[in-house]
Amino acid sequence: MRLSFLIIFFSLLLYAESINEYKITAQILNNGDVQITENITYKFDGYKHGIYRFIPLKGNESIKLLNVYKDGIPEKNEHYYKGSNFFIKIGSANKLIEGVHTYTIKYIFENVIKKYDKKHNRIAINAVGDMWQVPINNITLTIKLPKKLVNSKVEVYYGFYGSKNRAKIIKKSQTKYQAYIKNIPPHYFVTFYVIFDKNLMQNSSLFFIQKFYGLLIFILGAFGFSYFKLSTPKLSIPVQYRLPDLNSLRAAYLLNEKINFKDLLAALTELAVKGYIKISNKEGELRVIKLKEGSDLDDELKLIYNTLFEDDTKSVLIDKSVKKNLYERLGLINSKLRNWALNLRFFEKDYKIKRKKFLIISYVILIPFFIYALNITKKMYPSLDVVSVIFQVIAAVMFLYFGYKTVMQKKFLSIIFGLIFIGSGLVILFVNSITPLEISVFLLALPLFLKNKINIYTQKGLKKLREILGFREFIDKVKKEKLEFFLKKDPKYLDKVLPYAIVFGFTKWYEYYKEFYYYPDWYDGDLESMGSMESDFYYFESSDTDGFGSGDGAGGGSGGGGGGSW
């Protein structure tokens, strides 16, 4: 007690400015928000413009400023969120005042209900924060409850953070409580707690959340209906051991609607298997040797062949410049494959229009939902940096997408790195609580990834796709004993399947060459180097191609903060 008296006494001597009287009325509204009125009688030391006030916010708390007065007259003020604080600057830069003035600040503190235990919630508010720079005298705290909280427990503490000093509470009526504290030095809290049955009251933001998730279910239903109506139908896939009647690039294009740089190794292998070139892989050098002219090749294979041997050369080292030339032909190769698929009526002629239709339908549904989610999030988290949240979700989506793509390569290292990417994306998403805005941004990204799943195939195309998928299933599941049977019928069977195995990403096919001690005549190198040919090819792509890649005491509540003069 003596220590407290000495602190207060010396504080009064050290500080020329002070708050002569601080009256706080906290009225808990039926929706769980708290309407707070602060009457601050401030004694200035010399000439000043006015006072400032800042209130810290936690989680989804927010403040709605109602009005500001000085000596009973509306006063000019600026108010804004900065970081996790709500700032109010009262007064005019063009006007100086002195003496004693009373400031009234009235605001609604939203979303302050917190869980207390399994059966109870609580409202805990720092009526006076510890960041005031001046001593405060004559503190009167009035707490008004709604009728449904008449049997709630009410407590008031004051002191440094965590202090158990209880203020005396006078119960004025069933719904009105009052506490009086004569004076406190700077950096003291005055905190009140209201503890009540959790079924009696919830945060007002939960109302918006409930509305949001109800709408979310409807949006997902509408979006899902439009997607499944337009997406490629599910096909029954019988195992197909016969080779497709089209080359490996055309199989890849029908499967993925495009070919990538990695598919060019399948094309080189097919050219070698068909006797047009020979592949040499010795001492870390990948080389192709011309054996015969390619005038009778399919258009896309002919383009690759002519790119390799455009100067009548007989032997070409697959180095940086050759890789770059091949990469630059990808667009033209895909264009030739698209024309082939349309001419044979594997693709619908208006498939691009169908995809645009899907995107339009999706965004007609999702953009109003995004605007609604943005408004809800601003109400729940007014201090939230919306731009940062949007970029955070975009980063998370990119990590998840590239992680998925990497895992699907089905190699040991790719699976490890893919899982790291996916984990990073999930950490970015869940490092903070998920807001409606984050969910809506995530949904906005979905149509861009799903549009390639929209059905573009004719019935003829679906039949051919079914055959390719069946052949892929065979390559994936085939046993050694079954292969022995096919090799007896066709000794070149391993060679003929290899380009398709490369396109489908089944590198295990190289192992069969070693298991059957089969040395292909189109390849110059040992079987071990053959098994590493694909990784060497991709290594060159990534490293040598100029980036080819596409109630607990004082201070335990919300609010508080402090202020001073300016």
Q: What is the pLDDT of residues 328-375, one digit of tens each?
A: 888 899 999 999 999 999 998 888 888 888 888 888 888 888 888 887
Within 10 Å of residue 30's Cβ, how many Cβ atoms?
Answer: 11
Say if CB 109 and CB 143 are below 8 A apart.
Answer: no
Determine the Cα–Cα distance for residues 259 and 502; give it in Å rounded to an integer. 12
Confidence at residue 69, expressed as pLDDT on a 0 to 100 scale: 94
DSSP string, 420-439: HHHHHHHHHHHSSPPPHHHH
Determine the Cα–Cα distance for residues 283 and 550; give it in Å rounded to an integer. 30
Determine the Cα–Cα distance for residues 25 and 143; give it in Å rounded to an integer. 6
Phi, psi (deg, nearest 5) at residue 146: -75, 160
Tokens of 329: 């032909």
Report angle CA 144, 25, 186 to the nearest 5 degrees.
135
Give the CA dihedral 79, 82, 85, 87, nearest 10 degrees: -20
Q: Which residue has the tokens 């919630």?
A: 121
Say if CB 514 and CB 527 are below 8 A apart.
Answer: yes
Tell me the per-residue pLDDT of 519-540, one tens digit each, with 9 for 90 and over. Answer: 888 988 887 777 666 666 665 4
- Nearest Cα neighbor of 405 from 396, 418, 416, 392 is 418
**Coil, helix or strand for 367?**
helix
Tokens of 262: 């990695």
**Coil, helix or strand for 265?**
helix
Tell me the per-residue pLDDT of 139-176, one tens digit each, with 9 for 90 and over. Answer: 999 999 988 888 889 999 998 888 888 999 999 898 89
Tokens of 109: 């503190």
Confidence at residue 354, expressed as pLDDT on a 0 to 100 scale: 81
Say if CB 560 and CB 131 are below 8 A apart.
Answer: yes
Confidence at residue 91, expressed as pLDDT on a 0 to 100 scale: 92
Q: H helices within 108-147, ranges in order?
A: none
DSSP code at position 297: S
Confidence at residue 13, expressed as pLDDT on a 0 to 100 scale: 46
Intervals of the chain under pLDDT 70: 1-15, 202-214, 223, 226-227, 229, 379-385, 409-411, 429-434, 531-553, 555-556
- Nearest Cα neighbor of 455 from 225, 250, 233, 224 is 233
Say if CB 457 and CB 232 are below 8 A apart.
Answer: yes
Determine the Cα–Cα distance for residues 306 and 81; give it in Å rounded to an integer. 64
Burial (CB < 10 A; 0-12, 13-18, 19+), residue 414, is: middle
Report angle CA 210, 212, 217 to the nearest 5 degrees.
100
Say if CB 75 and CB 50 are below 8 A apart.
Answer: yes
Determine the Cα–Cα distance for residues 120 and 197; give it in Å rounded to an integer. 5
Q: How far is CA 268 from CA 27, 202, 303, 330, 533, in A?
A: 78, 67, 12, 14, 12
Q: Which residue has the tokens 């599941």?
A: 477
Within 10 Å of residue 521's Cβ, how many Cβ atoms?
Answer: 11
Determine the Cα–Cα distance for residues 261 and 500; give it in Å rounded to an integer. 15
**Coil, helix or strand for 404?**
helix
Say if CB 184 and CB 135 are below 8 A apart.
Answer: yes
